[in-house]
Amino acid sequence: MTIDLVDSLPKHSYKKYSKRDLKKIKRIVVHHFAGNISIEDAATLHVSKGWPGIGYHFVIEKDGTTNLTQRLDTISYNVGNNNTPTIGIAVRGDFTHELPLSCQLYALEELIDSLRIILGELPVYGHYEFRATECPGKKFRGWLSYKYPSPPQPLSVPLSKIRRWWKNLWEGKDHA
């Protein structure tokens, strides 16, 4: 079950998040709260930083309830300079030394599956993959990496150099 909290959470008095076309969404980034604070407290904290509102699109409670906290077309702040293509999902709890509860993991999987049905096969990352942070916790990182392996990175060497290397290697050997 998803509860819509978008209009009930604390917001900045005049700042507003920008909007995007859903086609610009290219990935999902998972966070943790790293403390025992409420969604309202997290929204208040983000607003106190000068943000327009809470930085996550979804927050999963300790009982597995999924809360919609920003609309999908909202460019909220949750991964620094990578916000436009990102959907941010936070899981309540500190997962430095323990995994989320099984009901939270199930809710996260269901949410990711649903988002992928709507938006396509989006890759899933931990927040730590975009900046120096422990988020979403060391213990949770392993589960995320296993469940949602990162896609292969693009080749960093131009193909022309690889072809030249192979040609030189091939020509320098006796292949008879």
The band of 155, judged by pLDDT with boundaries at 50, 70 and 90, is low
Write the secondary structure of the chain as one string of H (helix), E (strand) and C (coil).
CEEECCCCCCCCCCCCCEECCHHHCCEEEEEECCCCCCHHHHHHHHHHCCCCCCCCCEEECCCCCEEECCCCCEECCCCHHHCCCEEEEEECCCCCCCCCCHHHHHHHHHHHHHHHHHHCCCCEEEHHHCCCCCCCCHHHHHHHHHHCCCCCCCCCCCHHHHHHHHHHHHHCCCCC
The band of 123, judged by pLDDT with boundaries at 50, 70 and 90, is very high
Q: What are phi and psi of 19, to 5 degrees?
A: -110, 165
Considering the segment(s) 2-171 as one domain, its CATH architecture is 3-Layer(aba) Sandwich (3.40)
pLDDT reported for residue 81: 86
**Cis upstream peptide for 123 (omega within 30°):** no
* Higher-pLDDT residue of 105, 131: 105
Quote the percentage of the chain above a pLDDT of 70: 88
The band of 175, judged by pLDDT with boundaries at 50, 70 and 90, is very low
Domains of the chain, residue spans: 2-171
The band of 147, judged by pLDDT with boundaries at 50, 70 and 90, is very high
> What is the residue whose two structure tokens read 């460019």?
75
- Residue 20 in this model has a pLDDT that exceeds 90: yes
What is the C-alpha to C-alpha distance for residues 109 and 130, in angstroms, rounded to an integer? 21
Give the count of alpha carbons within 13 A of 158, CB side only: 3
pLDDT reported for residue 15: 96
pLDDT reported for residue 77: 95
| Mean pLDDT, rounded, of the chain | 89
pLDDT reported for residue 109: 97
